[in-house]
C-alpha cells in the first residue's frame, strides 16, 4: 500500500 | 490533508504551546509528569527518523522538527531549569512498565519487519499509553491546575480528531492503517474520564479535582 511506504501523518 | 487531521495537528500544537506557556509564566512544572514528557520525546524521536530521508511537505517537516525540539525543550525545563518545582514524589509511574511491553508488541505486531517500520510501530503503541504517568499523577494529587487541564484536553482532542481523519481517509482516499487506528482509539479511550471531568467541571469554572 503506497501510504505505508510514505508515512504522511504526524 | 483533511480538516480533521489539520484540526488534530493544531490541537496537538496548542497543547504543547499551553504546556510551555504554563511553565514559562508560572516558572514551575508543578503537576506535570516529567515521565510522560520523556515518553513523548521518545515517541517523536522514534517516529520521525525518516525526517531527512523522505520529504512529504514543508508543513510535515516543520511540524516534525517543532514536535521534536519542543519535547526535548520541555524535558530541559522540567529536569533542569525548573527542577526545583518538579514533583517527583507524585510522578512515580514506572515507565519501564510501558516501554518494555510496547517494545515487545512492536516486534510482534507490525506491518513490516524492518527497523524503521518497527520503530514507527513502537512509537505508535507508545504514544497511546504515554499519557498514563500524567493521568496517574493527577489521580495521586487528586487535582490539576486549570491550565494543566486545558493542556490535557487539547492533547486528548488531537488523537480524537485523528480518528475522524482516519474515517475520512478510509472513505475518501481508501487509506487505512489498522495499527494507527487501534492505538489511536486506545489513546483516546484513556482520556474519556478526564474528558468527562473537564466538560462537567472545568468548563463550569470549577477546578479539576478527582473524587478522592
* Residue B21 pLDDT > 90: yes
Taking the alpha carbons of B53, B58, B60, B62 in that order, is the dihedral positive or negative?
Answer: positive
- Report the C-alpha gap between B123 and B46 in whole angstroms: 6
Nearest CA in chain B to A3: B175
Residues B120-144 have pLDDT tens digits of 999 999 999 999 999 999 999 999 9
Tell me if B56 and A8 make a contact (CB, 8 A cut-off): yes
Query: Which one of B6, B164, B175 would you mutate to disrupt binding with A, by most A Cβ within 10 Å of its Cβ?
Result: B175
In this prediction, residue A5 carries a pLDDT of: 56
Beta pairing class for B143-144 and B208-209: antiparallel
Q: Of the candidates A3, A6, A10, which has its C-beta nearest B9's C-beta?
A: A10
In this prediction, residue B134 carries a pLDDT of: 98
Q: Of the candidates B64, B111, B117, which has its C-beta nearest A10's C-beta?
A: B64
Tell me if B63 and A4 make a contact (CB, 8 A cut-off): no
ipTM: 0.90
Band of residue B171 on the pLDDT scale cut at 50, 70, 90: very high
Band of residue B212 on the pLDDT scale cut at 50, 70, 90: low
- Report the C-alpha gap between B20 and B71 in whole angstroms: 10
* Residue B75 pLDDT > 90: yes
Tell me if B175 and A10 make a contact (CB, 8 A cut-off): no
Q: Considering only CB atoms, which chain B residues are within 8 Å of A1?
A: 175
* Residue A3 pLDDT > 90: no
How long, in residues, is chain A? 10
Number of A/B CB contacts below 8 angstroms equals: 25
What stretch of H or E contains B57?
none
In this prediction, residue A2 carries a pLDDT of: 45
Alpha helical stretches, state H, B27-144: 34-47, 58-76, 96-108, 115-129, 132-141
* Residue B193 pLDDT > 50: yes
The residue that leads in pLDDT, B175 or B185, is B185
Q: B132-153 burial string, b = 16+ CB within 10 Å, else e?
A: bbbbbbbbebeebbbbbbbbbb
Of all residues in chain B, the percent with pLDDT exceeding 70 is: 100
Measured distance between the N- and C-terminal CA atoms of chain A, rounded to whole angstroms:
18
* Residue A1 pLDDT > 50: no
Could you tell me which of B36, B38, B72, B45 has the C-alpha nearest to residue B148? B36
Amino acid at each position: 500500500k503506497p501510504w505505508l511506504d510514505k508515512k504522511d501523518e504526524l | 490533508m483533511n480538516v480533521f487531521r489539520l484540526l488534530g495537528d493544531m490541537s496537538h500544537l496548542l497543547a504543547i504551546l499551553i504546556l510551555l506557556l504554563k511553565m514559562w509564566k508560572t516558572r514551575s512544572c508543578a503537576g506535570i509528569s516529567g515521565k510522560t514528557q520523556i515518553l513523548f520525546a521518545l515517541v517523536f524521536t522514534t517516529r520521525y527518523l525518516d525526517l531527512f530521508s523522505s520529504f512529504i511537505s514543508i508543513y510535515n517537516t516543520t511540524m516534525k522538527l517543532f514536535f521534536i525540539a519542543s519535547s526535548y525543550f520541555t524535558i530541559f525545563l522540567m529536569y533542569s531549569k525548573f527542577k526545583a518545582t518538579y514533583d517527583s514524589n507524585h510522578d512515580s509511574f514506572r515507565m519501564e512498565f510501558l516501554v518494555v511491553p510496547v517494545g515487545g508488541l512492536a516486534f510482534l505486531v507490525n506491518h513490516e519487519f524492518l527497523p524503521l517500520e518497527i520503530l514507527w510501530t513502537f512509537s505508535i503503541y507508545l504514544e497511546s499509553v504515554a499519557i498514563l504517568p500524567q493521568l496517574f499523577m493527577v489521580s495521586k494529587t487528586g487535582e490539576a491546575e486549570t491550565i494543566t487541564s486545558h493542556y490535557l484536553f487539547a492533547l486528548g482532542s488531537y488523537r480524537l480528531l485523528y480518528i475522524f481523519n482516519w474515517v475520512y481517509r478510509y472513505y475518501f482516499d481508501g487509506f487505512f492503517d489498522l495499527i494507527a487506528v487501534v492505538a489511536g482509539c486506545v489513546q483516546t479511550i484513556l482520556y474519556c474520564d478526564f474528558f468527562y471531568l473537564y466538560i462537567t467541571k472545568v468548563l463550569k469554572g470549577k477546578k479539576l479535582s478527582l473524587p478522592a
